[in-house]
Amino acid sequence: MLTLVTIAVGPVSITAAAKPPPVKTSGFVSADMAVIETIVVAFWAMLPAYVPNNAAVVAGGGRPIDGGRTWGEKRVLGDGKTWRGTAAGILAGVALAAVLSAIAEPASSAIGIDVPAFTPFAAIGLAAGAMLGDILASFLKRRSGRQRGAMFPGLDQLDFVVVSLPLTALLAFEWFRAVFTWEVILVVVILTPILHVTTNVIAYKLGLKNEPW
């Protein structure tokens, strides 16, 4: 119910609408829900980009992509970037996107949050972009004189986001625009380093990785 309050100040008359006080709890609940929804959508949408790195660690080995070549006395990429690891990573990401797409509808109704299915181009953009970002990071590490396995704070945690999001936007623009709102992108930028650090420490403790980063 709106009550009109009229205050007469000399010749000027100000009319203000005195609204009833907002129901606080419902306001907070809906704000929290929006944040949770954004986090769930961001995590779901990024899964095909998160998994390739871990699949590469498990499946990696064999012939390095750079074939042992050097550039200015330094390896181009190093032994840590292999064809097998890269192929396994991309396949794992695309396969996961297919599985998530198949269960997107039942999952959405089960959790009450609309999670997206992936178009084939979106799946490829996310998975291949993640691997490409990781390879680009190794290239930058070698150029800056860092040995294989050396830490590069910032780059280590966000390398795959930096390439997978633009590549996905390029390959599947409409899908990208619908799913990656600026709120989702913000959550991805905050969530990714946290997840990256956590999963790498776990992989290190399990003996899958030589370094905890």
Nearest approach, Cβ of residue 47 and ligand CTP (Å): 18
Cβ nearer to ligand CTP, comparing 40 with 130: 130
Separation CA 192–CA 189 (nearest Å): 6
Q: Which long-range contacts (CB under 8 A, 24 or more apart) does 104-111 make?
A: 111/40
Separation CA 103–CA 212 (nearest Å): 33
Separation CA 35–CA 174 (nearest Å): 23
Cβ nearer to ligand CTP, comparing 57 with 187: 57
In whole angstroms, what separates CA 126 from the centre of its chain? 9
Cβ nearer to ligand CTP, comparing 60 with 125: 60
Query: Could you tell me which residues come within 8 angstroms of residue 180 by beta carbon, excluding any fewer than 6 positions away?
Result: 45, 165, 168, 169, 188
Nearest approach, Cβ of residue 19 and ligand CTP (Å): 55
Cβ nearer to ligand CTP, comparing 45 with 128: 128
Nearest approach, Cβ of residue 85 and ligand CTP (Å): 2
Cβ nearer to ligand CTP, comparing 38 with 78: 78
Nearest approach, Cβ of residue 209 and ligand CTP (Å): 6
Which chain residues interact with ligand CTP by CB under 6 A? 56-57, 60-61, 78, 80-82, 85-86, 131, 134-135, 138, 141, 148-150, 209
Nearest approach, Cβ of residue 138 and ligand CTP (Å): 3
Integer CA distances (angstroms), 89 to 122, 140, 145, in order: 15, 20, 26
Cβ nearer to ligand CTP, comparing 85 with 180: 85
Integer CA distances (angstroms), 203 to 25, 54, 55, 93, 127, in order: 41, 8, 11, 18, 20
Nearest approach, Cβ of residue 158 and ligand CTP (Å): 13
Is the alpha carbon torsion for 145, 146, 148, 153 positive or negative? negative
